[in-house]
Amino acid sequence: MARAILFDSTQCVGCKACEEACATKWGNPYDEKVAAEERLSSHKLTAVRTFGERYSRKMCMHCLEPSCASVCPVGALEKTALGPVVYDESKCMGCRYCMVACPFQVPAYEWHSRLPRVKKCDGCFERQAKGRPTACTEACPAGATIGGEHEELIAEARKLGGPYVFRMNLNQQSSGPTWATHKALMQTTPPIVDCGVHYVDVMCQITDAKPVEVRGMGLRLSNEIAPDMYNYGHLQVLFDDGSLGWYEAGWGPMISETAFFVKDVMSPNGSVSIVMDPNAKSDDIDTHTKTAVIRVHNAATGPDGKFLSPDEDLKMAGEPGHQELCDREQAYVLKAIREDIDLTRHMDDAVQSLRICLAADESVRTGQTVKL
């Protein structure tokens, strides 16, 4: 099973033991000057950043589908089955496509070397392959950085949040061919079911709790659709951990483009939001998959009641368009078939999401709350 690293900013004391351990492992210099640097570089592969009385840590995310590896034309970067994304300098030709593709600006280049290489954290691959912890997790005295099996760490991360509030919508001001497509879809399926399954699925994955109650309401805003169909709908779902979410979807030439794309997740510890390009159009399907910016807000405040850290905007460069995302999904299904990958959790979340959306449609049509 793949391994991963979990960083808990609420436990970090800012000692920078992880930085020093990483430098020692790589044979990089580490002194007061290097310790004061709060950005990644070819000689500093992890960096502790200070926000008032709080700390965060920047390092390679070892993505499940790393963009750095996908753009490398010579296979110098590779996602291993163990989890880490590793780099083979003997294959690298110095194109630096990985530096452009990485949304977290992790890969660094040895600009001042006569034989420059790309430098990045390799997740201490050789250590982990032998069952040893990474240098940073071994050095952390506060338990802020821990390592373990990927699924176990997801469960651990979920313990830090919750209960959650999910606010999501996707309203599309459609006309011409797009409206014709929507009318064809509504011969069988309302928007909150057709679109809703993709967003309620995210709610299920994050909260990891059982949905217990669904409420729905809808309205027919056009005479161009069947009398028993509605082109605007809104659902609410309650989970047994106290989390709740709402999803809104509307199609047609009458739909407003004001706040047509809302993607928020809130918990007692803060919130995460997708910030949409202000020039995006609601019926452009590529805007439904491409994320411009993810904004992370930390709710922690100091003795004066003011926030300890500013909001952090994560630039999502290189996001796939709608068709490219569909191609990736198909490629992953093919990979799952060939490599016998267990998709049980994916299937369970998808079926659960469909169950919630169908319950919302039932609630719209009956006017009654549906207990799951």
Q: What is the mean pLDDT of residues 166-174?
A: 90
- Nearest by Cα to 35 from 24, 48, 45: 48
Dist CA 331 CA 276 (whole Å):
27
The reported pTM is 0.59
3-state class of 31 per DSSP? coil
Convert the pLDDT of each residue in 306-346 to its tens digit: 998 888 877 655 666 778 777 878 888 888 899 888 888 88
- Give the pLDDT band (50/70/90) at residue 240: very high
- Nearest by Cα to 49 from 91, 26, 19: 19
The pLDDT of residue 285 is 57
Q: What is the mean pLDDT of residues 353-371?
A: 96
Convert the pLDDT of each residue in 220-239 to its tens digit: 999 999 999 999 999 999 99
3-state class of 118 per DSSP? strand
- 242 half-sphere exposure, CB direction, 13 A CA radius: 7
CATH number of 161-371: 3.30.360.10
Dist CA 151 CA 153 (whole Å):
5
* pLDDT of 276 over the 80 cut: no
- Angstrom CA distances, 320 to 21, 53, 142, 286, 342, stand at 36, 37, 38, 8, 25
Dist CA 32 CA 16 (whole Å):
11
The pLDDT of residue 353 is 92
Dist CA 202 CA 180 (whole Å):
28
DSSP string, 127-174: HHHTTPPPHHHHH-SSSSEEEEEHHHHHHHHHHHS-S-EEEEEEEEE-
Dihedral pair phi/psi, residue 366, rounded to 5°: -100, -20
- Give the pLDDT band (50/70/90) at residue 138: very high
Q: Say whether domain 3-159 belongs to CATH 3.30.450.20.
A: no
- Output the average pLDDT for the chain: 87
Same topology for domains 3-159 and 161-371, yes or no?
no
Q: What is the mean pLDDT of residues 355-362?
A: 96
Domain boundary assignment for the chain: 3-159, 161-371
CA 356 to chain CA centroid, nearest Å: 22
DSSP at 76: -
User: SS3 letters for 301-341?
Assistant: ECCCCCECCCCEEEECCCCCCHHHHHHHHHHHHHHHHHHCC
DSSP string, 249-270: EEEETT---TT---EEEEETTE
Is residue 74 within 8 A of residue 58, CB to CB? The reply is no
Dist CA 276 CA 263 (whole Å):
9
Convert the pLDDT of each residue in 23-56 to its tens digit: 999 999 999 999 999 999 999 999 999 988 889 8
